[in-house]
Amino acid sequence: MPAVTEPQLIGSGQTLQGCLTKMAVEPGAPARYVLRAGEHRLELNACLGKPLQLEWTGAIACTHCGRATRKSFAQGYCYPCFKRLAQCDTCIMKPELCHFFEGTCREPDWAERHCFQPHVVYLANASGLKVGITRASQMPTRWLDQGAVQALPILEVDTRQQSGFVEVLFKEEVSDRTNWRAMLKGSTELLDLAAERDRLLGRLGSGLANLRERFGADAIRVLDESPLSFDYPVLEFPAKVVSHNLDKNPLVTGTLLGIKGQYLILDSGVINLRKFTGYEVRVSA
Ligand SMILES: [Zn+2]
The pLDDT value recorded for residue 1 is 42
CA of 266 to the centre of ligand 1 (A): 31
CA of 72 to the centre of ligand 1 (A): 10
| pLDDT score of 6 more than 70 | no
CA of 63 to the centre of ligand 1 (A): 7
Q: How confident is the model at residue 7 (pLDDT cuts 50, 70, 90)?
A: low
CA of 66 to the centre of ligand 1 (A): 6
AA letter at 29: A
Q: What is the mean pLDDT of residues 96-121?
A: 95
- What tens digit of pLDDT does each residue of 130-176 get? 999 999 889 999 999 999 999 999 999 999 999 999 999 999 999 99
- What tens digit of pLDDT does each residue of 194-238 get? 999 999 999 999 999 999 999 999 999 999 999 999 999 999 999
Share of the chain above pLDDT 90, in %: 93
Of residues 187 and 69, which shows the higher confidence score? 69
CA of 67 to the centre of ligand 1 (A): 6
| pLDDT score of 4 more than 70 | no
Q: How far is Cα 49 from Cα 234, in angstroms, rounded to an integer? A: 9
Of residues 127 and 2, which shows the higher confidence score? 127
Q: How confident is the model at residue 178 (pLDDT cuts 50, 70, 90)?
A: very high
| pLDDT score of 125 more than 80 | yes
CA of 88 to the centre of ligand 1 (A): 11
Measure Cα distances from 49 to 12, 89, 105, 137, 257 in Å.
Answer: 11, 40, 47, 33, 6
CA of 35 to the centre of ligand 1 (A): 22
- On whether the CB atoms of residues 42 and 283 are closer than 8 A, the answer is yes
CA of 258 to the centre of ligand 1 (A): 32
- What tens digit of pLDDT does each residue of 83-103 get? 999 999 999 999 999 999 999
Q: How far is Cα 132 from Cα 114, in angstroms, rounded to an integer? A: 17
| pLDDT score of 3 more than 90 | no
Q: How confident is the model at residue 5 (pLDDT cuts 50, 70, 90)?
A: very low
Q: How far is Cα 19 from Cα 273, in angstroms, rounded to an integer? A: 11
Reference 178, options 96, 261, 121, 257; nearest CA is 261
Q: How far is Cα 166 from Cα 168, in angstroms, rounded to an integer? A: 5
CA of 156 to the centre of ligand 1 (A): 33
Paired strand residues for 229: 150
- What tens digit of pLDDT does each residue of 230-279 get? 999 999 999 999 999 999 999 999 999 999 999 999 999 999 999 999 99
CA of 139 to the centre of ligand 1 (A): 27
Residue 200 has a CB neighbour count (10 Å cut-off) of 20
Measure Cα distances from 85 to 71, 73, 79, 256, 274 in Å.
Answer: 17, 12, 10, 36, 19
The pLDDT value recorded for residue 14 is 80
Q: How far is Cα 24 from Cα 141, in angstroms, rounded to an integer? A: 9
CA of 55 to the centre of ligand 1 (A): 23
CA of 75 to the centre of ligand 1 (A): 12
Q: What is the mean pLDDT of residues 171-185?
A: 96
